[in-house]
Amino acid sequence: MDARMISYPDYLQLLPKTELHCHFVSTMDAALFVELAEKHGVELPSSDPATLFDFDDLVDFLVAFRYAHDVIRDPDDFERVAYDGVRSAVADGNLRYREYYVNPQYFAERGLSYPQVIDPIIAGLERAERDFGVGFRIVVAINRRDSAESAIELVGQILAHPRPQVVGLGQDDLTPESTEDPTRFAEAYRLAGGHGLKLTAHVGETDAATPANVRDAIEVLGCDRLDHGYRIVDDPAVVALALERGIGFAVTPVSTTICSGWTLDPAHRIRRMIDAGLPVAVSTDDAMFFRTDLGREYREGLFALGIDAETAKQISLNGIDAAFCDEEQKRMLRADFAAHFLALDALLEP
Ligand SMILES: [Zn+2]
């Protein structure tokens, strides 16, 4: 092998990337999680990062996700998590742009107001943007465990405290009945959409989910893009609808192996979405909890799905197309990615 050449897994890891689907607390490093828990006297099931994240299923994970919000309390905590998360994603996977889901309702349970959560996150991400050149936007996420009224109040908070970095509304977690039921929050979506916020939602992810959940998110909620969406491949009519509307999908390969027990291979639903022509972008979802990172999602995830280099580059570009930033930022990202692609293509071993 020529010493100047790189292997295909290395190529995948080095591709420039966006990330559209990551939850703010999950960008925390496990060591920082343990450190902040100690700082605030939060007792974790284990202080050993190696066993801290052993989950049996999605519900088990969602309990851990909830207590992760308990360790981030002071402005300095938020800023550190924000800044450090960018630094590691640049190192692990050549991150160039990211959108974060932030759940103010979890923090509200601990007495923090919406600005007390959003403003230090923005401060940390702006500092990281200056140091690492990684742009960002924030999508505020409705916690489906809470009521439809609480979701409407949350949108009211976004509108009462406008921040140019906060550009969208999403929904995650599951309802108290452990369903997705996206239309439960239709009123909050109408309000947000009416005020120019972009819309997304977690749908079609869980074993109980159906293609109808995906259809509802598109037709009833008016989503601009979707998170997960895997069940779409079970109904060709919903695939056709998504293609017609140009809906992008922020999928997270490694999380499907944990939450649904799926094997990453060329028969996986994500590969079938790609083969159907849906614009799929790849993200980590909950990197700390699933012991993954953006580089690994490409290096191991796309590799196991049998994705070739041309498709991998298209997946990386799909993340720019589906992003909620302005066209000028997208233009700069595309130029930056094109330069990286040229350099990497020249190094890829035949
Ligand atoms: Zn998610």
Does residue 1 have a pLDDT over 60? no
CA 199 to ligand 1 center in whole angstroms: 14
Does residue 302 have a pLDDT over 60? yes
Nearest CA to 323 among 134, 171, 188?
A: 134
- 74 by Cβ neighbours in 10 Å (0-12 / 13-18 / 19+) ranks as middle
CA 228 to ligand 1 center in whole angstroms: 8
CA 22 to ligand 1 center in whole angstroms: 6
pLDDT of residue 199: 98
85, 94 Cβ separation under 8 angstroms? no
Q: Is residue 115 very low, low, confident or very high in pLDDT (cuts 50, 70, 90)?
A: very high
Does residue 201 have a pLDDT over 70? yes
CA 255 to ligand 1 center in whole angstroms: 9
Does residue 62 have a pLDDT over 80? no
CA 170 to ligand 1 center in whole angstroms: 10
CA 171 to ligand 1 center in whole angstroms: 9
199, 224 Cβ separation under 8 angstroms? yes
Cα distance from N-terminal residue to C-terminal residue, the chain: 10
Nearest CA to 91 among 131, 122, 52?
A: 131
pLDDT of residue 120: 98
CA 345 to ligand 1 center in whole angstroms: 31
**Percentage of residues in the chain with pLDDT exceeding 70?**
99
Q: What is the pLDDT of residues 132-159, one digit of tens each?
A: 999 999 999 999 999 999 999 999 999 9
Mean pLDDT, residues 193-201 taken together? 98
CA 288 to ligand 1 center in whole angstroms: 12
Q: Is residue 3 very low, low, confident or very high in pLDDT (cuts 50, 70, 90)?
A: low
CA 7 to ligand 1 center in whole angstroms: 30
CA 73 to ligand 1 center in whole angstroms: 22
Phi, psi (rounded to 5 degrees) for 138: -120, 135
Go through the domains of the chain in sequence order and give each one's CATH number.
17-345 (3.20.20.140)
CA 135 to ligand 1 center in whole angstroms: 20
In whole angstroms, what is the distance from residue 302 CA to residue 298 CA? Answer: 5
Does residue 341 have a pLDDT over 60? yes
Q: Is residue 345 very low, low, confident or very high in pLDDT (cuts 50, 70, 90)?
A: very high
CA 81 to ligand 1 center in whole angstroms: 18
Does residue 2 have a pLDDT over 70? no
Phi, psi (rounded to 5 degrees) for 257: -75, -25
Does residue 322 have a pLDDT over 80? yes
